[in-house]
Amino acid sequence: MFNALLKFIVSKDDPRAKALRDNFVMVLVPMLNPDGVSRGHYRVDTHGLNLNRMYINPNVVEHPSIYAAREIVLELNRSKRLFLYCDLHAHAGKKGCFVYGNKLAFKQQVESKLFAKLLSMNSEYFEYDSCSFSESNTKLKDKNDGEDKEGAGRVALFKQTNLTNCYTLECNYNSGSTRNVLSKPIVVSPEKENNKPIRTPREEGSYEGKFDFS
């Protein structure tokens, strides 16, 4: 996922990527558990700790990567430069590509779900109907370590920042269950009418988007 996201962001011929670069600064952390992964652990670090349950109060000695990532997010929020937080995860059970969001007040919830819907409109593989924004998902105990998700990045950082767009993006290791049919992106024509840009759709047909997770 991370490699595909990075390739998409630096793409020169995708108007969506250019629009992102023109309007946002993206802070990307490629891996938060390098020591655990180097030893073959996909979930825990070298001490057997699930680092994605340590965001409430991480220890700089025991959870240095989480401590640093959290400090970056909080500093961006304090300086009013934080728009979106997204933690990328592989999922061993549930098929497809989807997000877990937070249970929010009505207006925030609409905005949070809208972002997920836009993802489904720009990726063949993202499954909006598989997304969850329920409070019960947050309280659900993990069958491996018995921990709930209150200490996960999207939950803990939302509570510390009140950030609407706070997600965990999950993608199954092997397969999905559906593929979306996409329209081509709408691009802004250099021609103008009454000093306003003309938005013209490209020729008809499905768009093979670069924002995939293969």
Active site residues: 170
Residue with tokens 């409430």: 56
- For residue 70, CA distances in Å to 75, 83, 127 come to 9, 15, 28
User: Judging by beta carbons within 10 Å of its beta carbon (0-12, 13-18, 19+), is residue 214 exposed, middle or buried?
Assistant: exposed
In eight-state DSSP terms, residue 147 is -
DSSP string of 56-84?
SS--TTTSHHHHHHHHHHHHHHHTT---E
How far apart CA 32 and CA 55 sit, in angstroms, is: 12
Q: Over the range 137-166, which residues count as b (16 or more CB within 10 Å of their CB) and which as e?
A: bbeeeeeeeebebebbbbbbbbeebebbbb
Burial of 11 (0-12, 13-18, 19+ CB in 10 A): middle
Neighbouring C-beta atoms of residue 98, cutoff 10 Å: 26
